[in-house]
Amino acid sequence: MKLSFLALAFLFAPGSLHADDWPQWLGPQRDGVWRETGIVEKFPADGPSVRWRVPLSAGYSGPAVADGRVYVMDRELAKEAANPVNAFQRGRIPGNERVLCFNEADGKLLWTHEYDCPYTVSYAAGPRATPLVNAGKVYTLGAEGNLFCLDALTGKEIWSRDFKKDFNIATPVWGFSAHPLIDGNKLICLAGGEGSVAVAFDKETGKELWRALSSMEPGYAPPVIYEAGGKRQLIIWHPQALNSLDPETGAVYWSEPGKANAGMSIATPRKMGDLLFVTSFYNGSVMMRLDLEKPAAAKIWQSKKASEKDTDALHSTMSTPFLEDGYIYGVCSYGQLRCLKADTGERVWETFAATTGDKPVRWANVFLIKNGDRYFLFNEKGDLIIAKLTPSGYEEISRAHLLDPTNRDPGRPVVWSHPAFANRSVYVRNDREMVSVSLAN
């Protein structure tokens, strides 16, 4: 009887049953926080256990995990087709984009949705955006602007849109990349063009509900909703301005002009208290203070240098920074993991330990995810790192190599696909395979 009681006590102990899905970009709350408990404190000497691995074709799209399934996108080149040797070169490269659904427990392929999709983008490896799973449907956005709503169980198409045809726009240099956002009955996307940078669709039917904003380029930053000034504010950051919209109507609350060179508004805008932060590769950082009484904002500081090498504050390429307890943690233009004071942008420390190891490398990257009092950092070499990031410095706890970097677009092998964390596991992919690795304690 005593043993049975102890077993039940353990089974229902706080955290013992807490498990989350990862149904969209940056997780369930779109904030880069992994809230599962019972996670390993340090990797075993021979590395964490691989649950399964499955073949995959090329792409930057991160996995999404929901309701016992894993969704990801890739691209298959047409027979005898090849991507340009110079990754910046644009042409017309025949091939198909695919949405794949796997069984979470064992990696078995359950269904594939495939469609013809000639590429005209630079860095033509494959799709960029992470699938979004919501209420029995999965929403996907391809690099050439093909938006699909599919039945999550069967992969059957429910509705679709073609951004280039629907909005009379061209494909951005690096493709359509901004991860779609669900808000109530709306699916909010970045498209582009005159008056249609941000577009809201009925998530059930694909009917357009509203469109807003104009810009020379749509940029690549995901839309995100924050509450401030007594209103829910839809933050849209495109290469000419940081904008706040009413998510119900698309009406503009406020707009702060500012240029992101080469269209590189990429990293997700981050909020901490009344502060709103954005960062770009060439132009660096802008910190806004959100009004507490109404939907408005004022700039409190910004980077003084527009440079990819001579940087101040933070000049992120693609990694979304993390804001916490008055500090900013993020990756600068050449792989410098930095800590800044949020109120001034003053640098506290920097290190290459998590990215290149010892030297600056252009666009060197690591993705940051918070779990409890530490971070899981997935770098472009395919290493998963457990570390503590505090104003005192970078403290590496453990490191494991999960998969090899296979994409050579930047002139060196990299993994530039965001991981997913769910079911006490991590899901990562390169251009050849996707791997699920157990992180259970």
Return the CATH number at 131: 2.120.10
9 part of a folded domain: no
86 part of a folded domain: yes
Section 377-400 average pLDDT: 98
Flag whether pLDDT at 384 surpasses 90.
Answer: yes
DSSP string, 95-162: EEEEEEEEETTT--EEEEEEEE--B-SSSTTS--SPPEEETTEEEEE-TTSEEEEEETTT--EEEEEE
User: How confident is the model over 88-138, as pLDDT tens digits?
Assistant: 999 999 999 999 999 999 999 999 999 999 999 999 999 999 999 999 999
- Closest by CA to 150, choosing from 203, 102, 214, is 203
By CB atoms closer than 10 A (0-12, 13-18, 19+), residue 101 is buried
424 part of a folded domain: yes
As a whole-number percent, the residues of the chain with pLDDT over 70 amount to 96
Flag whether pLDDT at 3 surpasses 50.
Answer: no
Amino acid found at 302: Q
Average pLDDT of every residue of the chain: 95
- Closest by CA to 255, choosing from 280, 228, 237, is 237
Q: Name, in order, each residue with C-beta under 8 angstroms of 332's C-beta and a sequence gap of 6 or more.
A: 311, 314, 315, 316, 338, 350
Flag whether pLDDT at 45 surpasses 50.
Answer: yes
Q: Which two tokens stand for residue 356?
A: 């290149």
Flag whether pLDDT at 395 surpasses 90.
Answer: yes
Distance CA(255)–CA(365), nearest Å, equals 30
End-to-end C-alpha distance for the chain, whole angstroms: 27
Which residue pairs, CB below 8 angstroms and at least 24 apart, start in 199-204?
A: 199/167, 200/247, 200/250, 201/147, 201/161, 203/134, 203/137, 203/139, 203/149
- Number of Cβ within 10 Å of residue 121's Cβ equals 21
Q: Which two tokens stand for residue 321?
A: 């920074």
212 part of a folded domain: no
- Number of Cβ within 10 Å of residue 134's Cβ equals 16
Which residue pairs, CB below 8 angstroms and at least 24 apart, start in 212-217?
A: 212/236, 212/245, 212/250, 212/251, 212/252, 213/238, 213/243, 213/245, 213/252, 215/239, 215/240, 215/241, 216/240, 216/263, 217/172, 217/173, 217/192, 217/263
DSSP strand pairing (347-351 vs 366-371): unpaired
245 part of a folded domain: no
Domain membership of residue 141 as a residue range: 21-177+275-287+301-438
Flag whether pLDDT at 54 surpasses 80.
Answer: yes
Section 399-403 average pLDDT: 98
Task: Give the count of domains, the chain.
Answer: 1
392 part of a folded domain: yes
| Region label for 270, one of left (φ > 0), alpha (ψ between -120 and 50) or beta (otherwise) | beta
Q: Which two tokens stand for residue 151?
A: 């039945």
Distance CA(255)–CA(274), nearest Å, equals 16
- Closest by CA to 405, choosing from 439, 432, 438, is 432
246 part of a folded domain: no
User: How confident is the model over 228-274, as pLDDT tens digits?
Assistant: 999 999 999 999 999 999 999 999 999 999 999 999 999 999 999 99
Q: Which two tokens stand for residue 170?
A: 């061209």
Query: How many helical (H) and strand (E) elements, i.e. helices and strands, does the chain have?
Result: 2, 32
Q: Name, in order, each residue with C-beta under 8 angstroms of 278's C-beta and a sequence gap of 6 or more.
A: 221, 237, 242, 265, 267, 269, 270, 285, 286
Distance CA(179)–CA(128), nearest Å, equals 8
4 part of a folded domain: no
User: How confident is the model over 263-307, as pLDDT tens digits?
Assistant: 999 999 999 999 999 999 999 999 999 999 999 999 999 999 899
